[in-house]
Amino acid sequence: IDPPTWEEAPISFTAWRKQRTRWIKGHMQTWLVLMRAPFRALRELGPSAFVAAQLTLLGGVAAAFVHGPLALCIAIDLLFSGHMLGPMGAALAIAGYASAMYGALVCAALMRDARLLRAAPTMPLYWPLASLAGLRALFELIVRPHHWAKTEHGLARRRCAAPQHAPYATALTA
């Protein structure tokens, strides 16, 4: 699949949660299947692809579980005490979110798509929501491993065409 894809985004929190739950559960299931025979997977994929698969599959899952509690701790500390993080920890937390937001702004500029600009300021609120989807995905993996919450398409009020910009590869190398 050539990136970027321009599929219809979920228009409600419930639809978004179901979609993210499905994605995270899919990453967990794929990793579990891959790791049934880790040495065989290492041999068949090779060391680089094996490590890339570990980082790709586990990185997203770990991020989903970590962002919510971490953001809550940071918010409580910044709003009330400031003792848990300390000045350096607070600066690092703010710098981490700021660098990710900056990356989103750069991506929007490279893609020449102003619609993507709104993603940057919502990242500190959006990412912790993935923890809810992650917990649900873990529950479903244990209790309903074969259940797949499908996304209902065609609900958007208006259709957005892909932006007119340079091809993806050209935009990234510009």
The pLDDT, as a whole number, for residue 173 is 46
Does a structural domain hold residue 29?
Answer: yes
Counted domains in the chain: 1
Does a structural domain hold residue 139?
Answer: yes
The pLDDT, as a whole number, for residue 156 is 62
The pLDDT, as a whole number, for residue 57 is 94
SS (H, E, C) the chain: CCCCCCCCCCCCHHHHHHHHHHHHHHHHHHHHHHCCCHHHHHHHHCHHHHHHHHHHHHHHHHHHHHHHHHHHHHHHHHHHHCCCCHHHHHHHHHHHHHHHHHHHHHHHHHHCCHHHHHHHHHHHHHHHHHHHHHHHHHHHHHHCCCCCCCCCCCCCCCCCCCCCCCCHHHHHHC
The pLDDT, as a whole number, for residue 172 is 47
**80: domain range?**
13-146+166-173
Does a structural domain hold residue 40?
Answer: yes
pLDDT in tens for each of the 174 residues of the chain? 566 666 677 888 899 899 999 999 999 999 999 999 999 999 999 999 999 999 999 999 999 999 999 888 888 888 887 788 888 888 898 899 999 999 999 988 998 888 778 888 888 888 889 999 999 999 999 999 999 888 776 666 655 555 555 454 444 444
The pLDDT, as a whole number, for residue 85 is 82
Does a structural domain hold residue 159?
Answer: no
Contact 18, 153 (CB under 8 A): no
Does a structural domain hold residue 1?
Answer: no
Does a structural domain hold residue 5?
Answer: no
